[in-house]
Amino acid sequence: MKRIVPVVLAVALFMENIDSTVIATSLATIARDIGASPIALKLALTSYYVSLAVFIPISGRMADRFGARAVFQMAIGIFMLGSLACGFANSLGGFVAARFLQGIGGAMMTPVGRLLLVRAVPRSDLVGAMAWFTIPALIGPLIGPPLGGAISTYADWRWIFFINLPIGVIGMMLAQRFLPFIEPIRDTQFDWPGFVLSGLACAGVVFGLSVVSLPALPPSVGVATTVMGLIFALIYVRHARRHERPVVELRLFRVVTLRAAVAGGGLFRIGAGAVPFLFPLMLQLGFGYSPFQSGLISAVSIGGAMMMKTLVKPILKQFGFRVTLLSAAVVGGVLMGALGFYRPDMPLAVLVLLLLIGGFFRSLFFTGVNTLAFADVPQAKTGDATALLAAFQQVAIAGGVAVAGAVLEGSMIWHGRDSAMLGDFTLAFFVVGVVTVLSTLAFLRLPADAGAEVAGRRVPAE
């Protein structure tokens, strides 16, 4: 029973994580069919991320007030409606709006799913459960691009979205059957001014970073929007200090393990968020691979992620969170940087090995850091912690693509080129690898016994 909960949650999250990346290789086909340009259609990608940024902060409070299982099922339903609307869209505006609706559902699925997991699984079993829970986030971005390319090439692109309907129905049925009912917290209050401020802050930063890295609009618009988002973030911080129950509970940063998980996980995600953007481009522009071929090669790291699933619990029990996360961050960052130094004349086995080992350590890091985040959070505050963690994760992922795009563009301008060459990708991978290794700074001061009970290194007191 302890495994069925993360598996049920993974069904819905797998649908969301694939869908968030599956249209990347299908933009040209979709744009041609609805009469828009591929560059303009990138606004549909941005609208999804903006929707996530706006509604993630309120997800934990919604789960507290109406019940986590009910909100999780509602999120699947909204995501299905958005998928249906995407499939029937015939204009740019309609498609962008449909993707925004999808994002509302997606914003609730991941944090509320994580909340269900934390509240339903004993802390001694949380490491193993979190390993299953993180699998969709690891393999979705890898499977999505080749799947989208295959559907667009051999079928109608609208099936990219229609296939979500049966998956969503199965997810809702499994949730009703297997997910535990958790009593709502009836006196939960909504911080509507905080919701508006946090939404403007997160949306401004995410939208700005997305526009800078994917210039569907002039980069100056992205910079200005990012600055506005940061201004609203400062206003929100002032609001949160004065409010008894702000929508994003910044006081939780007093919990040492949660603070380390947010800071270190954010830096690591900047690197991890850049790889799905950089690696297929390098294979296509530098090696001459087709989108489908590059997607298949990228999927090799799934093997490493799956191997980790059975090993993470004994690794954490043996070494603890501090040593495990420091090691995973260093090795993961070095291997990310090494991808940029691979050349077409090298044996393919070298690239496969880099991807396999890199997938293992990225998966180990994410499972560890997501578990550590809740190691010392009081049960009554887990809803607030999920919203806090998810909001910062979303900003970090957008930041990763922005950093990668900025380094790539800057290198091209420096060398006076209109298209990216292998040397540009080498520099970009090196930078994101360094940023990833810098995540170790957040864990250096962790106590050696941080999260010992969750890691299985200490028996809880009776």
What tokens were used for 401? 């693509």
Q: Are residues 386 and 263 in the same domain?
A: yes
Can you spell out the DSSP letters for 278-336?
A: HHHHIIIIIT---HHHHHHHHTTHHHHHHHHHHHHHHHHHHHHHHHHHHHHHHHHHHHH
Among 189, 206, 224, give the residue marking a domain's end: 189
Q: Are residues 266 and 360 in the same domain?
A: yes
Q: Are residues 203 and 109 in the same domain?
A: no
Q: Are residues 276 and 341 in the same domain?
A: yes
Among 189, 210, 230, give the residue marking a domain's end: 189
CATH number of the domain residue 160 falls in = 1.20.1250.20
Q: Are residues 210 and 356 in the same domain?
A: no
Q: Which pLDDT tens digit goes with each residue over 123-162?
A: 777 887 777 777 766 666 667 767 776 787 778 889 989 9
Q: Are residues 395 and 414 in the same domain?
A: yes
pLDDT at 386: 85
For the chain, which ranges sit under pLDDT 50?
Answer: 1, 459-462
Q: Are residues 422 and 380 in the same domain?
A: yes
Number of compact structural domains in the chain: 3
pTM score:
0.81
Report the C-alpha gap between 29 and 424 in whole angstroms: 28
pLDDT at 227: 94
Q: Are residues 124 and 150 in the same domain?
A: yes
Q: Are residues 150 and 49 in the same domain?
A: yes
75-98 CB burial, b ≥16 within 10 A, e <16: bbebbbbbbbbbbebeebeebbbb
Provide the 10 A C-beta neighbour count for residue 14: 18
CA-nearest of 9, 10, 134, 113 to 63 is: 113
* Burial class, 416, CB count within 10 angstroms (exposed 0-12 / middle 13-18 / buried 19+): exposed
CA atoms within 13 A on the CB side of 35: 5
The tokens 């603890």 sit on which residue?
320
Q: Are residues 360 and 429 in the same domain?
A: yes
Q: Are residues 234 and 314 in the same domain?
A: no
Q: Which pLDDT tens digit goes with each residue over 392-406?
A: 888 888 788 778 888
pLDDT at 460: 47
Q: Which domain holds residue 361?
A: 251-462
Q: Are residues 429 and 386 in the same domain?
A: yes
Among 228, 246, 264, give the residue marking a domain's end: 246
221-244 CB burial, b ≥16 within 10 A, e <16: ebeebbebbeebbeebeebbeeee
